[in-house]
Structure 1
Amino acid sequence: MSRVSTARERSPWGAAAPLLGGLLLVLYAVPVAWLLLAQPPGAVLAALDAPFVVGAARNTLVSASISTALATLFGVPLAYWLARARFRGRTLVTAVVAFPLVLPPVVSGMVLVGAVGSNGLGGLLGVRITGTLAGVVLAQTFVASPFVVLTARSAFERVDAHTEEAARTLGATEWGTFRRVTLPLAWRGILAGVTLAFARAAGEFGATLMLAYYPRTLPVQIWATFSGRGLDAAFPVAVVLLALASAALVLINLLGESSLVLPE
């Protein structure tokens, strides 16, 4: 055994780090374990076919899929531009992109209602956005799309710009270089961001509650069921949402931890 390894094993920090970190892991694990074990599995499964659970799950899958598609369609080009362009104000643009991540979800809902509600853009255009599926998608896209932009930007920045220049030197167009060189090298990071965005959109509560209480998604339905019928009745809805989140986590882990590093 090397001296470095021996010193590391005897270090107080080496012993304290797993202990302190383990306490935080307990905080993560205990509530999830309680959710899974507080009721018999048969009782939970029997309640999963309730119309309000099925409807909320369907609304969540549809709205989260649409919002994730929109976040990808517009977020990936923005991420590439931020990764490759050099201009004054680039830091400010990045801060604007990250702004929804630091806003409390309820505040996000408030600013969206003011911007697109009856007293905002929706009223000017004569289009109703609040209380519709479009409102749900808008709220989810607002809070979830930064994950696509920031993670994809980090992935693009890890692609060697000289590789792209070499492709253009060989006659490839800018679009061809992006499609055949840059995307294949950055796709893992982009897909990780897309997966994070879907998980965030599916779990969004505050902004969705403010902008579109109906149609209810799983987080809103959990709150409504808990408020009206108590904790036990809300269990089946929470289990469905936990299953969606777990599937997203599995995919993220398969993509690798290196794809999830967000830029500072």
Structure 2
Amino acid sequence: MSRVEQRLEGDSDGTARERPRIGAGRDRLPGGLAVPALLGAVLLAYFVVPVTVFLARTRRVDVAAGLADPAIRDAITTSLVTAPVSTAIATVFGVPLAYVLSRASFRGKRLVEAAVLLPLVVPPIVGGVMVVTIVGRYSPVGAAAAALGMPLTDSRAGVILAQTFVAAPFLVVTARAGFDGVDPRLEETARTMGYGRLRTIRLVSLPLARNAIAAGIVLTFVRAIGEFGATMLVAYSPRTMPIQIRVSFISGGIDAIVPIALALLAIAVIVVVAVQLLVGTPRRY
């Protein structure tokens, strides 16, 4: 427990109170949760069964030979380069925006919130059209970038722009939920102890909201690396993994996409596990 938390929750003599752990020692599902658990199990089965059947199909496919295909290797490289960049951009700009939306009240806030949610509402292919109208070769921005030798379409820059547009809102929404869950009194207490605003955010707000932020980073990365619709319009080439999956499926059917689909699945699992190990398990009180 941090010094600020101890001061807020401590007794008058400054001693921190020990909060009881709710549900400690429970090893069985409460009877009242039987029906929700059964309903949830149906959806869980719908998640697990297709994955299991797909993995069983990999036994008859030469995965190593498929991954040796230059087109597939190039697609994997493109996705592994662009998705982390898109996620980093979303984090650097999205976390501050999430904090402002959580803590500030200002004129036009509803419009800002709507703008953040817009990429989540529109279909990805429509989002791609919107991005192209700004960065396309015949737009002022796109033409200027192309003249400088840095085209914003049909390039890795275009992939990053498309991925960021559709994936960054996940970071903002999730991080804001994390900041909303931080008791403002903790920040106020930190301020009374002489912490400035930025130091309070760094030492109090960010650590307490880190699990939500980490979840947002995972969602953003997975959404970015799996993006197809917007990327296809903004930057069909170089191909990302989802676009290559589509091309391989058209030319060779399901067996042709097994190697790259496995690679995409493995990358997503590795990222999720890595973030969980770095962030840790949220404390339960």
Contact kept, 8 Å, 1:196 with 1:248, in 2: the verdict is no
User: Could you say what secondary structure the match of 1:145 adopts?
Assistant: helix
| Cα 1:163/1:62, change in 2 over 3 Å | same
One of 102, 105, 119 as aligned partner of 1:86: 105
Contact kept, 8 Å, 2:136 with 2:143, in 1: the verdict is no
Unaligned runs of 5+ in 1: 1-7, 260-264
What is the aligned partner in structure 2 of residue 195 from structure 1? 218
| Cα 1:169/1:23, change in 2 over 3 Å | closer
| Cα 1:23/1:186, change in 2 over 3 Å | closer
Q: Deviations over 1:130-188 (max 9, x none)?
A: 10100000000011101111111111111121221222222222111111121111111
| Cα 1:196/1:38, change in 2 over 3 Å | same
What is the aligned partner in structure 2 of residue 210 from structure 1? 233
| Cα 1:29/1:167, change in 2 over 3 Å | same
What is the aligned partner in structure 1 of residue 248 from structure 2? 225
Distance 1:252 1:98 in 2: 25
TM value normalised by structure 2: 0.79
What is the aligned partner in structure 2 of residue 103 from structure 1? 122
User: Could you say what secondary structure the match of 2:105 adopts?
Assistant: coil
Deviation of 1:93 (Å) = 1.3
One of 46, 57, 72 as aligned partner of 2:76: 57
Unaligned runs of 5+ in 2: 1-29
Q: Does 1:135 align with 2:158?
A: yes
One of 106, 118, 131 as aligned partner of 2:137: 118
Q: How many residues align?
A: 249
The structure that is helix-richer by fraction is 1
The ranges of structure 1 where at least 4 consecutive aligned residues each deviate by more than 6 angstroms after the TM superposition are 256-259
Deviation of 1:240 (Å) = 0.6
Deviation of 1:89 (Å) = 2.7
Distance 1:207 1:161 in 2: 38
Deviation of 1:94 (Å) = 1.2
Q: Does 1:168 align with 2:191?
A: yes
Output the aligned Cα RMSD. 2.4
Contact kept, 8 Å, 2:211 with 2:282, in 1: the verdict is no
Report sequence identity in percent: 47
Contact kept, 8 Å, 1:132 with 1:214, in 2: the verdict is yes
Distance 2:46 2:276 in 1: 21
